Chains A and B, each alone.
Chain A
Amino acid sequence: MSVSFPELAAIRLGYGLSPLMPPPATPGEVLDSVAAAAPGPEAVTLEQAREVIGRHLALGRNRMDSGSEGQAEFRALNRELALMPMVELRQRLARAVDAPAGFGERLVQFWSDHFTTRSNATNTHHLRLAFIDEAIRPHLGGRFEAMLIAANTHPMMLRYLDQGRSIGPNSRAARNNPNRRMGLNENLARETIELHTLGVDAGYDQDDVRQLAELLTGLVFRPKTDELFLKNWAEPGAETVLGRSYGGDGPARIEDIHAVLTDLARHPDTARHLARKLAVHFVADEPSPALVDELAATWGESGGDLSQVYAVLVGHPDLAAQFRQKVRQPFDYLASTLRALGVSGQAILAIEPRRIRNDFGAALTRMGQPWYQPVGPDGWAEPAADWITPQGLAARIEFSLKQPSRLVETLPDPRDFLHTALGSTAGEALNWAVPKAESAREGVAMVLASNDFNRR
């Protein structure tokens, strides 16, 4: 099938076609969408997240003393905070449907999944929002090292990967508290090397992990103080990671942590690991070696300048050659459905968080991608077979049948909708099937449940 660049770009690099706006006409328009994914007016800051945690802890402490009024206030705050992920989901869907090209918003998904964090407490949901707005969105088009440093020193990541429990065995804090069990936690160090930079198959060993863990000691998050680096917790002395020594005789400094992260970001194995990961996410579960090589080469030559790497991806012939080898992940599926139905971001923002939870949050869970609750720090799986499971597909079919009539006042004519949603890319089987549906509801559902629509 020969597919035009605009359709290819909308379907493969963005969130699909929309009746409300034309698809991006040129690679330049796709690349411009990266800057458009910068933090918006709704951005949450670390300061706000601190304030929420502080308020939650204070109300939790005081609820016994202040009787039923305090209990009620605490419960009300808990209810409000518990819905934050749904407020966030609503915002993300709205940005996805409104973005003309959508590639920038897709990158927000990609990088926040690469730097997976998971908020396990109601009072840290804001912290994860701050993570996206401070560590991911501002760095989408810059150098990878800037994003790596922002992400892996961000309180949300420190909390998720247990850095707050990691104390240098010979640090002042450990020496002053000989009876407390204090020690190193390697989690952040291991994931930094294995998942975030070099990749699991790279040439590093347990000593590198251990040394990096020692170097990372001192990075902590305490909601009540602005300080993100406690010298008293840091392991004294130099550490050697991948043959290079960091720190030394002077006092521990966060600059040494920045230095090791910068070196890891610039390492050739990191270029290779990330080149492949981008190719797998945007092009094919098994990308061509040529594409990976080109991305890795540009990564290396540009010192990890992400904009230059994206330019290779966006202009690559594999986008056409390997069309429909990827399956839309559940969030992308919801966003693409809303876009195809012509639901505006404004209309999405008007939906109550509880309905977002019942209609969209629950659907994501059934499709196998509960909102921001990946099981491990490696994030979501890529292979198509992981998403098109019996129950995952049943959930997509169910959504296709039930939700469109709740989202638009009148359902479109299925034959028109087929063109709106898939342009010239609809296959023969779908063109045959849609006009034969018994009702508009089922005709629209055929389009949304089709393999043509679910693949990209």
Chain B
Amino acid sequence: MLSRRLFLKSTALIGCSAAAHPLLSSMSFAAAPGENRLVVIILRGAMDGLDVLQPYGDPELARLRPTLAMGPAKGALDLDGFYALHPGLSALYPLWQAGELGFVPAVSTPYRDKRSHFDGQDLLEAGTGNDLPVRFRQGGWLNRLLQAMPGAMSETAYSVGVEEMLILSGKAPARSWAPDAELELSPQAQLLLDHLYHEDALFRDAAAEANQIAAETMQPERRSRADAAGLGRFAATRLNGETRIASFSVAGWDSHANQPAVIGKAMTRLSDAILALREGLGANWAKTTVLAMTEFGRTARQNGSNGTDHGTGGAMLMAGGAIRGGRVIGDWPGLGEGDLYAGRDLMPLRDVRAHAAWAMAGLYGIPRNQLETSIFPGLDMGDDPRILA
């Protein structure tokens, strides 16, 4: 399958690049590329965009989703008279009011019809289309962005959490750390380990970097660091330093049954992560763009167990002081019989990669042709959706 093969190539490249790029290369003295920050959150499990961002103004919604659709009458927060925000994300509503939260409805990757989480996520993170020969796919799109950024160094990008983040894998060096990784050594143990590893460059360098990151990031309250707020807090500490790009994932969106309970928890984690980023970033929040994306959407109709099944069109969430929030950007395809994709899913109107590409063009000045050929090969960016402030 395309995705697994893709990784076959990219892991080989990581192996090579690790040898070719020592952790502290000469690049590390270059200036960090600008002040703009980009955080990409992968929402694993296929978030139901129709539930998070409810188009209650479309009369079909209540018909398709007799119990799931709420609208303002049943507790959702009206956004603009047509869309309402799921109350599970009400903690983010102040951001909407401040122009720091926005949505794009009806987007998707080029992935179609098979609806496998693994493949959908792999394609989302690879950032390629279905049409590209597998052999040309290399790593993830955030890594290819790094390769296009002059002055990028290993600290420029971080994947946060224990999970492998394909989105950041590839030729360019990037850091990776789990905020719940612990390295509490007594001074004596530290000294002895330093001595042990001294003659072994592989162990010496890995330990030195682990110690450095642990010293920089360990805080007195060490509970709950594995949760989403912990990921957000950790990412913020890095982004306040040399890091400009961070990525992590928030899982738990696969809501085949009892959707309110399932995604209620996932929404709490997502809003915790975003609020932790905002709090941790302080003044730097103004220069930050957060894009939260998922591998595909869910069925327009709710199923027999008060849930939804794997679908196609989904929604992207944006946050940050750098975005033009307080608005829903993009058209609405409608939910009528003839409007649905394959008679069952929300019709995607736009490639979610186009929004990420326009954001990267705005944040880092990457030329359009580079975005359309090397970072997102084969993408047509279309018109600028103007998501940045």
Residues of A within 8 A of B (CB): 64, 120, 161-162, 181, 187, 190, 195, 327, 365-366, 375-378, 381, 383-386, 388-395, 397-398, 401, 429-430, 432-433, 436-438, 442, 445-446, 449-452, 454
Q: How far is the CA of A258 from the CA of B213 in the complex (A)?
A: 53
- Which single member of B176, B195, B200 contacts A391 (CB below 8 Å)? B176
DSSP majority for the A interface? helix
Q: How far is the CA of A157 from the CA of B186 in the complex (A)?
A: 47
Q: Contact between A449 and B193 (Cβ–Cβ < 8 Å)?
A: yes
Contact residues in A for B7 (Cβ distance below 8 Å) = 375-376, 378
Q: Contact between B196 and A375 (Cβ–Cβ < 8 Å)?
A: no
1/0 per residue, CB under 8 A from A, across B185-196: the answer is 110110011011
Q: Does B73 contact A (CB under 8 A)?
A: no
Q: Does B81 contact A (CB under 8 A)?
A: no
Q: How far is the CA of A433 from the CA of B8 in the complex (A)?
A: 40
Contact residues in B for A120 (Cβ distance below 8 Å) = 118
List B170-210 residues whose CB lies under 8 Å from chain A. Answer: 175-178, 181-186, 188-189, 192-193, 195-200, 202-203, 206-207, 209-210
Q: Contact between B206 and A386 (Cβ–Cβ < 8 Å)?
A: no
Given contacts A397-B193, A430-B196, A451-B203, are A390 and B5 in contact (CB under 8 A)? no
List B205-238 residues whose CB lies under 8 Å from chain A. Answer: 206-207, 209-210, 213-214
Contact residues in A for B200 (Cβ distance below 8 Å) = 451
- What are 24 A-B residue pairs whose CB atoms fall within 8 Å in the complex? A120-B118, A162-B1, A181-B113, A365-B162, A366-B162, A376-B4, A378-B7, A381-B14, A385-B15, A386-B18, A388-B202, A390-B213, A391-B178, A394-B181, A394-B214, A398-B182, A401-B184, A401-B189, A436-B192, A437-B188, A438-B188, A449-B196, A450-B196, A452-B196
Q: Contact between A393 and B18 (Cβ–Cβ < 8 Å)?
A: no
Q: Contact between B4 and A397 (Cβ–Cβ < 8 Å)?
A: no
Nearest A residue to B186 by beta-carbon distance?
A438
Q: How far is the CA of A34 from the CA of B92 in the complex (A)?
A: 59
Q: How far is the CA of A93 from the CA of B189 in the complex (A)?
A: 28
Contact residues in A for B196 (Cβ distance below 8 Å) = 429-430, 433, 446, 449-452
Contact residues in B for A64 (Cβ distance below 8 Å) = 304-305
Given contacts A393-B206, A437-B192, are A378 and B8 in contact (CB under 8 A)? yes
Q: How far is the CA of A437 from the CA of B14 in the complex (A)?
A: 36
Contact residues in B for A376 (Cβ distance below 8 Å) = 4-8, 11
Q: Contact between B11 and A381 (Cβ–Cβ < 8 Å)?
A: yes
Q: How far is the CA of A397 from the CA of B203 in the complex (A)?
A: 11
Q: Contact between A388 and B203 (Cβ–Cβ < 8 Å)?
A: yes
Q: Contact between B189 and A437 (Cβ–Cβ < 8 Å)?
A: yes
Q: Contact between B182 and A391 (Cβ–Cβ < 8 Å)?
A: no
Given contacts A376-B5, A393-B207, A398-B181, are A446 and B15 in contact (CB under 8 A)? no
Interface centre among B4, B8, B113, B197 (most CB of A within 10 A): B4
Contact residues in A for B206 (Cβ distance below 8 Å) = 388-390, 392-393
Q: Does B384 contact A (CB under 8 A)?
A: no
Q: How far is the CA of A389 from the CA of B178 in the complex (A)?
A: 12
Contact residues in B for A401 (Cβ distance below 8 Å) = 184-185, 189
List B90-106 residues whose CB lies under 8 Å from chain A. Answer: none
Q: How far is the CA of A381 from the CA of B15 in the complex (A)?
A: 8
Q: Contact between B18 and A429 (Cβ–Cβ < 8 Å)?
A: no
Q: How far is the CA of A162 from the CA of B177 in the complex (A)?
A: 33
Q: How far is the CA of A442 from the CA of B186 in the complex (A)?
A: 9
Q: Contact between A190 and B202 (Cβ–Cβ < 8 Å)?
A: no
Nearest A residue to B202 by beta-carbon distance?
A388
**Whole-angstrom distance between the Cβ of A77 and the nearest chain B Cβ:** 15
Contact residues in B for A445 (Cβ distance below 8 Å) = 189
**Whole-angstrom distance between the Cβ of A117 and the nearest chain B Cβ:** 11
Q: Contact between B203 and A393 (Cβ–Cβ < 8 Å)?
A: yes
Q: How far is the CA of A381 from the CA of B14 in the complex (A)?
A: 10
- Which single member of A187, A375, A437, A451 contacts B197 (CB below 8 Å)? A451
Given contacts A64-B304, A394-B183, A446-B189, are A432 and B195 in contact (CB under 8 A)? yes
